Structure 1
């Protein structure tokens, strides 16, 4: 390589920013060690914090704990402030912010990072460092691409040594001066005079429906637009504002209602020409609401009326197709309802971007148009966690429906399909019994439970596929689900090296259904007391990740007796699927057919039988 030649390092800008933040942290700590007070040491990008909840009566310092929810909420608010601040910032936790004394902290960094992410959808880099033998936690926060609201729905950034309120307009004006800013934040030539009155009325309706009603819906149009971040200081609308509020030259949304897939079209319409995007969204929602019938649940279930398709999941699908589409393409986002399936398909122009693909939509987030996405969030159309694919998954599976289908097709375009129908009441009852109650809305628990209602067991590797996470993260999620209870008993239980649905969960589900056959017709718990076809499927699943199956294994998976399980496995020997191992009695086991002739197999989960011998169904 030529001497003194400059080299390129991917992500070098981010690494440089983090290095600069660490250097500022070092300076602050060095000045504290020299006896300076926090008021003299703190700066715009570095804040000193004493861990919340560490003081008892009379200001006595209490012992620290690895998991302090008060501190997690406190720090989530401060991280949100730093994320909104130009260049980001750092928090040093474990310092008396009046005297500068180091009091330390025992917070678990991985737990803290996850708790902050849960609260504000930002995951800072969390590091532990020791100063004079005292443990401190340092949070390094990168500048956000979109405004970040704290746990109190406030938008703040750091000015000097303090976090102060900022409105969205000021945030996006600043963003225009940064590299990589969003085209939707550009000023347009449109003004308030160009706005459609219908769009203003729709916006006010959406604002009144927000969980945090701050009276914005009743403010002047200019104030509404300013606080939504859609009006510049010069009085012009941003590109996002003009798109949402001004009449459009074409339909950005089209609607069709079919009787069956590829059958007769019962109704079809493009959004009205000359209406704004907000009005087109509201019109499409009204059509969807009319098509999405209500059903009455039997028995005494707490929620008597539900929709064939969860409305929140349907709204997320439509808004995903609008907000994340490619606005340089002229064709409309198409919304199709199929009557017979109670299914919804949304097809939007433009493929996946920003590293998102069909295999990581649950965990990877990227917005093609951050300013537009932020305005939609501020209007209350979606929650502050983003345009929630995870919400779609959770809403669907907790009613017993299939998870959403998201695929990229030639064009490119993205197709989202939700298939509803009558909810599976036993599944709803099981979810409704989960404690602690906040886990009922945990998408990880929902997806693990959905998997175990349809598959006899789950491994960390399978969990990684289902949750679109690493094996280590899936293992953590399985333990989280394992800590949940129903009726005082575990929701799921470990068995050998896998997890299974607990007996309490299966009994509660069966009780709600009244008959196992009813559940099986709905595709739930088909592996319990299975028919011959399903029995073969259960054994093949087990042998795909194990080198042998015992009567005890099969009995645990199917809730048969040991004797019944052994007879079932012996029938598979007769059918040529299995052969008996060399041991007998309590150690008796069965191997895939042909193993004894070809020699012993290594007992290893990575040693999967050939596809020809052990084809795994579905």
Structure 2
């Protein structure tokens, strides 16, 4: 959901006094008021427009105060839309084209200024270069300006030549390259593994016409690459997140060896929890799914900015694993669109080489895979953040701890198409936390627009999986409210936070059933409480443990075992007749 499409709702929140404008501002929305003069107003808006253009674009709303709530926050504006558009164009370098329009809210005249994501790096005529960072406009360092300029112009720093030649390639790194090529699914690349070193380097596109290695080739395959920091990767293991590191590894180039050894080091300390499915299959659930960790580390090494001369850092404990890389996300990608923005390399030359080796995802599915594998393992989704720590950086955080086995079993039993669908798994995870979901709520989570999200919800309510159903009161609406179907609720059981029953309610229903029919079994408990076989078993065990029920059938195992009144079965109370 964008700030533009959601603007009427946001303005209504301010008008009703529910929220202040400042609390609604974010990466792509800012509220402004007129200054003392037209000149000052235009300068202020030009600076804000530059800030948005150097990030991912955004919306300026003129005529609403930052602080305060209610109708008093709407002070309106008398500025002319065409004049503001012209002045922003004149006050920015290169000239920035914006879309300025009038907007009426409860009789108040406002202006909306839609700022596109820039194709260049923008500044004001006074030389101010800023970039939107959450709800602030922060000055850009020269290194930030250079990086953004390269990305927007398509300049690839790693494609530049070095003074290294193919003879400088590390022999162990080339051996690793050949092994990687042999393991790829593509027959052409497998045959390439038997080619000469020079032919392989040309196939990886890391050699220039003059026979020199590019920065990508040097970083990937040579020791002591000048193009990268002395340490490109640092790993620390801590028994607890705040404890002392008990294992530390540091790697320099070649990158291809550092990556492989780091994955092995993480795997050696990655615990496994066995989980049995209803079909009898045993799943080996890792503390941190190796596929997810591999993708996070590959992304950090491919997209991290080597010009920062800082290493990728991995911090590992049983509870938390983080992968931090130097530099922000690639221009145009944010934590809010990272699932659906597609693959966009900061350094195309380096990314192409790693893709050829099978170490990088070529279709923009790497981040998708991280989210999907974490949900499959019964854990929360990864957290992706941009932060300022000794310069801009990107951090991916995985939460460990015991897996939620119910979610793991449930997903393992889904049809293949849904089990491999990230949208499906994220919506299931949402509905383990909240009772219902709408397209507008789910849109932010699966990072799609509302119409596409509604299509996903409808598919899950009518497709092969039949996971969802519209609530009774909204079924006829164009965009209903959805909830999990009874079967899904039963399978997920305690994984669904709101799926709890009061002990008194369970006692009453079980006792009433036994009084009426004499016995009860597992299958009956499943039907009465809408639970699966395991939850029904636990309910019956509790009653047997309290001697409210005892086994009364000769059969000792299975859902058909019958239970009847035990020594502590409550006697039926009779009402005393009141005489007149």
When the two structures are superposed, what TM-score results if normalisation uses the length of structure 1? 0.52
Question: Post-superposition, which runs of at least 4 consecutive aligned residues in structure 1 deviate over 6 A?
Answer: none
Pick from 422, 435, 456 the counterpart of residue 435 of structure 2: 456
Aligned to 2:247: 267
Aligned to 1:501: 484
Deviation (angstroms), 1:428: 2.4
Deviation (angstroms), 1:196: 0.7
> Where does 1:582-593 land on structure 2 (aligned, <5 Å)?
none
Pick from 377, 383, 401 the counterpart of residue 421 of structure 1: 401
Distance in 2 (alpha carbons) for counterparts of 1:301 and 1:198: 44
Contact kept in structure 2, 1:207 and 1:213, CA below 8 Å: no
Aligned to 1:345: 322
Contact kept in structure 1, 2:276 and 2:282, CA below 8 Å: no
- SS of 2:162 mapped into structure 1: strand
Aligned to 1:327: 306
Contact kept in structure 2, 1:377 and 1:386, CA below 8 Å: no
- SS of 1:187 mapped into structure 2: coil
Ranked by relative contact order (alpha carbons within 8 Å, sequence separation 6 or more), the top structure is: 2
- SS of 2:345 mapped into structure 1: coil
Aligned to 1:210: 184
Distance in 1 (alpha carbons) for counterparts of 2:187 and 2:407: 33
* 1:237-276 alpha-carbon deviations (Å, 9 max, x no partner): 22211110111351100000001111121111211x5x41
Contact kept in structure 2, 1:398 and 1:450, CA below 8 Å: no
Pick from 224, 233, 258 the counterpart of residue 253 of structure 1: 233
> Where does 1:131-280 land on structure 2 (aligned, <5 Å)?
180-214=154-188, 215=190, 216-249=192-225, 250-271=230-251, 273=252, 275-280=253-258
The answer to whether residue 340 in structure 2 is matched with residue 363 in structure 1 is yes
Deviation (angstroms), 1:211: 3.0
Using a 3 Å threshold, how does the CA distance of structure 1 residues 239 and 423 change in structure 2: closer, same or farther?
A: same
Deviation (angstroms), 1:426: 2.5
Q: Which runs of 5+ in 2 are unaligned?
A: 1-49, 51-149, 475-479, 504-528, 532-580
Distance in 2 (alpha carbons) for counterparts of 1:301 and 1:188: 57
The answer to whether residue 321 in structure 2 is matched with residue 312 in structure 1 is no
The answer to whether residue 526 in structure 2 is matched with residue 525 in structure 1 is no
Using a 3 Å threshold, how does the CA distance of structure 1 residues 328 and 201 change in structure 2: closer, same or farther?
A: same
Distance in 2 (alpha carbons) for counterparts of 1:367 and 1:416: 17
Deviation (angstroms), 1:335: 0.5
Deviation (angstroms), 1:392: 0.5
* 1:476-495 alpha-carbon deviations (Å, 9 max, x no partner): 22123334434xxx111122
Aligned to 1:466: 445
* 1:39-98 alpha-carbon deviations (Å, 9 max, x no partner): xxxxxxxxxxxxxxxxxxxxxxxxxxxxxxxxxxxxxxxxxxxxxxxxxxxxxxxxxxxx
Contact kept in structure 2, 1:316 and 1:387, CA below 8 Å: no
Pick from 458, 475, 479 the counterpart of residue 458 of structure 2: 479
Distance in 1 (alpha carbons) for counterparts of 2:530 and 2:334: 38
* 1:544-568 alpha-carbon deviations (Å, 9 max, x no partner): xxxxxxxxxxxxxx979xxxxxxxx
* 1:294-340 alpha-carbon deviations (Å, 9 max, x no partner): 3322466434433221111001111111111111111111011113x
Deviation (angstroms), 1:409: 1.1
Distance in 2 (alpha carbons) for counterparts of 1:301 and 1:248: 51
Number of residue pairs the alignment of both structures matches: 340
Contact kept in structure 2, 1:373 and 1:387, CA below 8 Å: no
Distance in 2 (alpha carbons) for counterparts of 1:387 and 1:191: 34
Aligned to 2:351: 373
Distance in 1 (alpha carbons) for counterparts of 2:458 and 2:184: 34
Q: Which runs of 5+ in 1 are unaligned?
A: 1-9, 11-175, 511-518, 533-557, 561-618
Distance in 2 (alpha carbons) for counterparts of 1:266 and 1:325: 26
- SS of 2:354 mapped into structure 1: helix
Contact kept in structure 2, 1:460 and 1:474, CA below 8 Å: yes
Pick from 404, 410, 413 the counterpart of residue 382 of structure 2: 404
When the two structures are superposed, what TM-score results if normalisation uses the length of structure 2? 0.55
Contact kept in structure 1, 2:383 and 2:396, CA below 8 Å: yes
Deviation (angstroms), 1:387: 6.3
Distance in 2 (alpha carbons) for counterparts of 1:493 and 1:381: 40
The answer to whether residue 418 in structure 2 is matched with residue 439 in structure 1 is yes
Contact kept in structure 1, 2:273 and 2:285, CA below 8 Å: yes
- SS of 1:189 mapped into structure 2: coil
Distance in 2 (alpha carbons) for counterparts of 1:466 and 1:528: 22
The answer to whether residue 267 in structure 2 is matched with residue 289 in structure 1 is yes
- SS of 1:472 mapped into structure 2: helix
Deviation (angstroms), 1:235: 2.5
Aligned to 1:121: none
Deviation (angstroms), 1:203: 1.7
- SS of 2:332 mapped into structure 1: coil
How large is the RMSD of aligned CA atoms in angstroms?
2.6
